Amino acid sequence: METAYERLLLSAQKEASDKGETIKDTPYRLGFHISAPANWINDPNGLIQFKGEYHVFYQFHPFSEKWGPMYWGHVKSKDLVHWEQLPIALAPFEDYDRDGCFSGSAVEHDGKMGLIYTGNVWLDDQQQELKQVQCLAWSTDGVNFTKDCSNPVLSRIPEEGSSHFRDPKVWKHESSWYMVLGTKKNELGKVLLYQSDDLQNWKYEGVLAENKEENLGFMWECPDFFELGGRHVLLISPEGMEQEGTEYVNLKQTGYFTGEFSYETMQYKHGQFFELDKGHDFYAAQTFLDDTGRRILIAWMDMWEQEMPSQEDGWAGALTIPRVLSLDKEGRLLMHPVAELDSLRKEKTVSVKEYAIENELVIGSADMAEIAAEFRVDDPGVRAFGVKVRCGDGEETVLTIVPDECKLVLDRENSGKGPGGGLREAKLSQVKSVSLRIFLDRSSIEVFADGGACVLTSRIFPSSDSLGIKLFAEGGTVNVQSAEVWTL
């Protein structure tokens, strides 16, 4: 006999899969990014390598292309490139999570996979007042999950928090479990730290980091805390930061601190906050450590409260390609696409070597491509140069390097349908010799430059016949040392 909970899981799954069949050939559907078969997704959750396979969960509303009561969708992969959809892992159902299984993380314990997530309950019809508690669910096969009967495992909010108390990230250090949680107090974002011996009983250890009345937002969502290159990185997604020039331009940001943490004193000393990705669409990033020791990051490749043209086709939301993190000498995070993505390359359609451009050079035509271009600039007259993609009738997405200002600008003003939002820009360390690596999917662009220090991720919604890829130079001659295009 099926339980009522199993029936809910099955009907949600069926709803999304059936709709998925009808929308799979719509033009914005992505070719190599994680998204749901249909309907809405947001944050990546529970990134883990379990029994040799990579698992990624995501915030999922299986009944609509708009956000609603959150489920956990689930995909897995052997290579971080080809993802298989699995049955929905969690559904909101119990008194403690009835309005949503919010974001969280995954651990391996005694051969089982454990999910730690936030149970969300609205206390009023306007969804203003809420109760958030932390919950556990277990699986032996990595596919079917049972909620722990001791749920919620953490519901007491310490004085330093508020009822916004969510997005647990759990990790093991020596023989103890640790957890960071996002919260706020007096409209200042905070991250709280907990310790546990058994994942069920949690001891509050204090505030790990907080907004001390700077421009760091009123709520810190989706924290992640990990060691990298001998330093400790705290990744957060603050809500409510004010734009400062070309910084913090999106509605919400994802960024990080680096510093030193002691498990003896539980104190974290950190430096300043840096935004991690300067594109229009990057939020709620999470990481995990794989068995080769790589710290791999995946983020939601969209932004809250923004026009999402794919909703007309019955879906919204996707996750970025996986990126390997490292730290540079100054303690800044670098992001590199995982090497496994090379296996997506189908055909090298173009290879240009040592070619001088003064104007434009068409180098390809594709909606799914990897583009690698290396420029050298000796002519002081050059005002701008770069790459244009998804070019068509009145449409183009433009990546411009501006030598005088030592910056890279991504312009999606004429990319196609909404969401608009114009320019995003990032500083480059130098502009004499610039390498760009670009991953284009049918409705996204991810740009990696400056050795991974400069990354921009954005959604674009061009018409399906805007396919042109061009290099360009303005004001002088730019030497294209090499340019390669692979269809994916």
Contact 75, 34 (CB under 8 A): yes
Q: Which of 33, 147, 166, 295 binds ligand FRU (CB under 6 A)?
A: 166
Binding mask 137-156 for ligand FRU (x = CB under 6 A): --------------------
Residue with tokens 């696409």: 337
CA distances from 392 to 367, 400, 444, 445, 466 (A): 11, 18, 16, 16, 4
CA distances from 389 to 289, 405, 439, 478, 485 (A): 33, 22, 11, 18, 11
Cα gap 235→256, rounded to integer Å: 4
Nearest to ligand FRU of 268, 283 (CB atom): 283
How many residues sit in the footprint of ligand FRU (CB under 6 A)?
13
Parallel/antiparallel/unpaired status of strands 274-275 and 255-262: antiparallel
Nearest to ligand FRU of 236, 399 (CB atom): 236
How many CA atoms lie less than 13 Å away from 294 in the CB half-sphere? 21
At CA 26, angle to CA 24 and CA 29, rounded to 5? 70
Q: How far is the CB of 69 from ligand FRU (least distance, A)?
A: 10
Q: How far is the CB of 213 from ligand FRU (least distance, A)?
A: 22
Q: Which amino acid is at 366?
A: A
Q: How far is the CB of 97 from ligand FRU (least distance, A)?
A: 11
**43 catalytic residue (yes or no):** yes
Binding mask 202-231 for ligand FRU (x = CB under 6 A): -------------------xx---------
Nearest to ligand FRU of 59, 397 (CB atom): 59
Q: Please name the residues in contact with 224: beta carbons below 8 A apart, sequence gap of 6 or more.
A: 169, 180, 233, 234, 235, 236, 285, 286, 287
> How many helices, marked H, and strands, marked E, lie in the chain?
1, 34
Binding mask 276-295 for ligand FRU (x = CB under 6 A): -------xx-----------
Nearest to ligand FRU of 303, 335 (CB atom): 303
Contact 42, 67 (CB under 8 A): yes
Q: How far is the CB of 132 from ligand FRU (least distance, A)?
A: 8
Binding mask 454-483 for ligand FRU (x = CB under 6 A): ------------------------------
Closest among 230, 179, 187 to 206, alpha carbons compared: 179
Nearest to ligand FRU of 69, 416 (CB atom): 69
By CB under 6 A, what part of segment 406-445 binds ligand FRU?
none
By CB under 6 A, what part of segment 84-103 binds ligand FRU?
102-103
Nearest to ligand FRU of 251, 453 (CB atom): 251
Nearest to ligand FRU of 194, 385 (CB atom): 194
Contact 271, 331 (CB under 8 A): yes
* 98 token code pair: 């009835």
Closest among 421, 413, 220, 228 to 307, alpha carbons compared: 421
Q: How far is the CB of 110 from ligand FRU (least distance, A)?
A: 27
Nearest to ligand FRU of 35, 59 (CB atom): 59
Q: How far is the CB of 59 from ligand FRU (least distance, A)?
A: 4
Q: Give me the catalytic one of 18, 25, 43, 125.
A: 43
CB nearest ligand FRU: which residue? Answer: 102
Q: How far is the CB of 74 from ligand FRU (least distance, A)?
A: 15
Nearest to ligand FRU of 40, 145 (CB atom): 40
Strand, helix or coil for residue 419: coil
Residue with tokens 């390997």: 324
By CB under 6 A, what part of segment 230-259 binds ligand FRU?
none
First to last CA, the chain: 45
Strand, helix or coil for residue 268: strand
Q: Please name the residues in contact with 312: beta carbons below 8 A apart, sequence gap of 6 or more.
A: none
Binding mask 304-343 for ligand FRU (x = CB under 6 A): ----------------------------------------
Cα gap 109→32, rounded to integer Å: 31
Residue 167 interacting with ligand FRU (CB under 6 A): yes
Q: How far is the CB of 218 from ligand FRU (least distance, A)?
A: 13
Cα gap 391→16, rounded to integer Å: 33
Contact 283, 298 (CB under 8 A): no
Burial of 38 (0-12, 13-18, 19+ CB in 10 A): buried
Q: Which of 118, 151, 250, 487 binds ligand FRU (CB under 6 A)?
A: 118
Q: How far is the CB of 389 from ligand FRU (least distance, A)?
A: 28
Residues that bind ligand FRU (CB under 6 A): 42-43, 59, 70, 102-103, 118, 166-167, 221-222, 283-284
Catalytic residues: 43
